[in-house]
């Protein structure tokens, strides 16, 4: 003879429903965080480009592209943007001017905090 077993899974079911509901919100919120981070890196890079007249048009070449939850920040391969590698990394006759990577490194703490805030908000909504 088997013992009767009963369990209340209503809280688990509610959790599953809430998780499904917030998944769109997570993607939307994270998309905004990625967009803001990419924009901040772009603006920081532009603000810290050399004022040397040799590079005066390079500011117009800094751009970013976001696809889903990822973004690429860099220089457009047009006009002076084609010389961005020489600007950033130097050459035999030009000293390097690292600007893009340091801008990204400065953005990391802000980006991590913003993603953490999204995670905390979503966790509260689920529970």
**pLDDT for the residue numbered 5:** 52
Single out the residue of 54, 45, 60 nearest to residue 98, CA to CA.
45
Residue-by-residue pLDDT tens, the chain, 127 positions: 455 555 565 666 666 666 666 677 788 888 899 999 999 999 999 999 988 888 888 899 999 999 988 899 999 888 878 888 889 899 999 899 999 999 999 999 999 999 889 888 877 766 6
Residue with tokens 């905090």: 113
Cα separation, 89 vs 5, whole angstroms: 69
**pLDDT for the residue numbered 1:** 47
Beta strand 62-67 pairing with 70-75: antiparallel
Is the distance from CB of 75 to CB of 63 less than 8 angstroms? Answer: yes
**pLDDT for the residue numbered 24:** 75
49 phi-psi bin (left φ>0, alpha ψ -120 to 50, beta other): beta
**pLDDT for the residue numbered 83:** 84
- First-to-last alpha carbon distance for the chain, in angstroms, is 39
8-state DSSP, 80: G
**Number of other CB atoms surrounding residue 109 within 10 Å:** 9
Provide DSSP, 8-28: --HHHHHHHHHHHHHHHHHHH
Three-state SS at 63? strand
Dihedral angle of Cα 64, 66, 71, 72, to the nearest 10 degrees: -40
């Amino acid at each position: 003879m088997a013992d009767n077993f009963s369990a209340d899974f209503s809280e688990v079911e509610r959790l599953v429903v809430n998780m499904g509901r917030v998944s769109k919100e997570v993607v939307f919120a994270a998309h905004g965080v990625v967009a803001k981070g990419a924009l901040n890196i772009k603006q920081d890079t532009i603000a810290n480009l050399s004022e040397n007249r040799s590079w005066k048009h390079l500011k117009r070449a800094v751009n970013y592209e976001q696809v889903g939850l990822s973004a690429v920040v860099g220089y457009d391969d047009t006009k002076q943007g084609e010389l961005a590698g020489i600007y950033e990394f130097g050459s035999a006759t030009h000293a390097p001017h690292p600007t893009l990577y340091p801008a990204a490194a400065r953005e990391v703490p802000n980006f991590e905090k913003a993603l953490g805030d999204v995670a905390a908000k979503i966790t509260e909504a689920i529970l």
